[in-house]
A and B are shown apart, each in its own frame.
Chain A
């Protein structure tokens, strides 16, 4: 019997060796393979084609299955991460840098021509971080990524629906009250009173950040040491959100959106709801046009205006950027990919594919983009430039995980959407919970207390946290964009 088993073992070993020998070799044609961890946006294929044309000795492989923050961190730490990976905004950049999975590229970027000066100055904080250098005793800025594209949001609207309800198209000087009035008219119900079309798309945390800014409030104080969502401006913004969500029901809640939206794939859910005309207006960046262009019912029916303002017109802007895994065996090739992202050829490819705004401001402000001859109906490209000028990148404190803030916020938002709390209760409970988490972290970690002192100029005192003396008051929020202190030092160094 043992000879039978031995024979089976031998056959299995032989098969394994055969399978190993037959395993497809990614670099079989002699080219070096570079793995790019990125979403499967249709525009990526064009980028890969162009990169391979310009770099015939390299092969770029897309890895769309491992794009989430936790997977990237765990895989890079474990030594099996991609060579380059996408970073979807400052909040991810900070977490990646803290986890030590992003390679600083200052020197190489300056040498190869893709330093911070090569892209929009407004997204400086999306690709670089100011960190405290204890040896030098000062804050120093380091670049970690280069933009793949730059995103600023506008309000897209469906002209056909506006025509159907006899409402004139909105203009860029509108405010939130006007937006709500229009959205109410766009809502459509069936004979049972159930909503079949919403006026506006869903607001989650990142959308609400902009809303709070527009009402003159902010999530955190200028030193990013405590949460200020209980300020009168923030409460006013949340009251307005509550009105849109619960009272007037002009936008679906997150749960409603998930329940009626599609599942999975690039550009699903809220974009699909806009494409199928179940949402009439949608806050989104130019990248939405990738999908809108493929929809026959939307052809010639898309309009766009700037987001409504209130006390301010500011909104969150982001750079989708690409960074290098410090454990990548192909660092030089990875640098060539980032160099490619800074090229005009790539920026024009972004323009053509509608994947948000190009990394190059020169291309982004070129007349050939602003008056796109290939898509004359898209006469709103100048709005994205205006939106970039009005916006800024969003900063979170180093004393709490951004994903944790997002989870806490979305939980409270869901409870408010479910009519279980008022906006005032929500803001106060949310602020208390976030501040409590930061207080626990500050009490626990000495490095955080040092950072707290550097930011505030005083020692951390758990009994006086959040500090009672200098809370922002109504109409005088120091961190509101446009205010005197809006550009106060915002650092997210590794504590």
Chain B
């Protein structure tokens, strides 16, 4: 039996469709059609370099990825993508810690102490700017000014100011961040290695800091040629530099906001009951907050995996161009190289759809288990 709509409802539906039409058209032309087109492309040998006549090749592109000549490069790119996701647990734990710390107002002392802190922060900001303008030591001056200004914001606006400060990397333009981090990782004059040299000198260690973006060394001892573990490759290199930058960029981002929202939704009477039972702060977190945050954590983990599978392109393109020795080519970057450097658009589409299937699998897990009440 068909749904019968009143005349007025039909008219309203027509108006609604009229208003939705521009968006639907945009979606159809710029999203849906290219997606369908790329699915068709995945089963063709479309090659911009015209090495062979265009034609449908069935599942050949997928076969090549898993068993053919491209299998090694695909496996390496997938391994690099997984490597970039190494920072995910650290980032999630960091977001949780930040959310817990910033969920309640931070006590900074009496009003007089706070005034003193604000004065000192502003003085540090002014001093930094004066150093910058007066002595020409721009890096030192700016660093001092930024620290001073951040401290002033934190003191005046308390947790709201701090939340905003931690969220800044998340909405800062990626390219600017990557160029900045590239400078920070410079082995000779970057601030990271400069700090490490001071630290090593203080500790009396005769160690040279890592070569970061110029090194193929990594924590999993992966051979840059094969992508498999081998002796002699242990250390910190380009992949680790990108992981560290990723942690910095995401620790105060949306995950922190989700945890803050999750903490705000924990019923206060649970904390009160725990307090009556004699639970101190850690036990209260362990037995009340953490179980209540389980669905949020699950959602964050799933979303981070999805983001991780898709990520790595911009960082590698801007900071390393996939180097050294192609060790920073993630799946996203591999799609780009296959499509626009090797001109095999059919194969590139097949990689993209393989990546889609992986993401879909993760999403299905979230769909299946995400709505469950998980209380430990």
A contact residues vs B (CB 8 Å cutoff)? 2, 5-6, 9, 70-71, 73-74, 77, 95, 98-100, 194, 253-256, 258-260, 263-264, 401, 403-404, 407, 410-412, 414-415, 417-418, 420, 429, 436-437, 440-441, 444-448, 494-495
Contacts and interface: CB of A to CB of B under 8 A. Distances in A.
B371 interface: no
A71 B182 CA distance: 25
A407 to B, nearest CB: 7
B69 A440 contact: yes
A258 B216 CA distance: 14
Given A420-B224, A429-B225, A445-B51, A259 B211 contact: yes
A258 B213 contact: yes
A259 B48 contact: no
B159 interface: no
B49 A95 contact: yes
Interface in B234-276: none
Nearest to A95: B49
Contacts of B75: none
Contacts of B216: 414-415, 418, 420
Contact of B340 (A74, A194, A418): A74
B324 A99 contact: no
Nearest to B325: A414
Contacts of B326: 407, 411
Interface residues of B, number: 38
Interface string B338-361: 001111000000000000000000
Given A98-B50, A258-B213, A412-B325, 4 more contacts: A259-B213, A263-B182, A407-B326, A410-B325
Contacts of A446: 52
- Dominant secondary structure of chain A at its interface with chain B: helix
Nearest to A443: B69
Nearest to A410: B323
B43 interface: no
B289 interface: no
B324 to A, nearest CB: 4
A194 B324 CA distance: 21
A259 B343 CA distance: 29
B323 A414 contact: yes
A256 B342 CA distance: 27
B188 interface: yes
B50 A255 contact: no
A448 to B, nearest CB: 7
A411 B225 contact: yes
Contact of B215 (A6, A77, A407, A418): A418
Contact of A256 (B185, B214, B225): B214
B19 interface: yes
A285 B337 CA distance: 29
9 contacts: A71-B340, A73-B48, A99-B49, A259-B212, A260-B189, A403-B342, A410-B325, A418-B215, A420-B224
A102 to B, nearest CB: 13
A401 B342 contact: yes
Contact of B186 (A259, A404, A429, A494): A259
Contacts of A429: 225
B179 interface: yes
Nearest to B185: A259
Interface in B277-303: none
B325 A411 contact: yes
B224 A259 contact: no
Nearest to A70: B340
Contacts of B19: 2, 5-6, 9
B188 A448 contact: no
B114 interface: no
A448 B225 contact: no
Nearest 6 interchain pairs by C-beta: A255-B214, A70-B340, A414-B325, A414-B324, A255-B324, A411-B325
A260 B224 contact: no
B105 interface: no
A2 B12 CA distance: 9
B186 A260 contact: yes
Contacts of A99: 48-50, 343
A404 B342 contact: yes
A448 B325 CA distance: 29
A127 to B, nearest CB: 20
Contacts of B233: 420
Given A9-B19, A259-B188, A440-B69, A401 B49 contact: yes
A95 B22 CA distance: 40
A107 B69 CA distance: 42
Given A99-B343, A403-B342, A415 B224 contact: yes
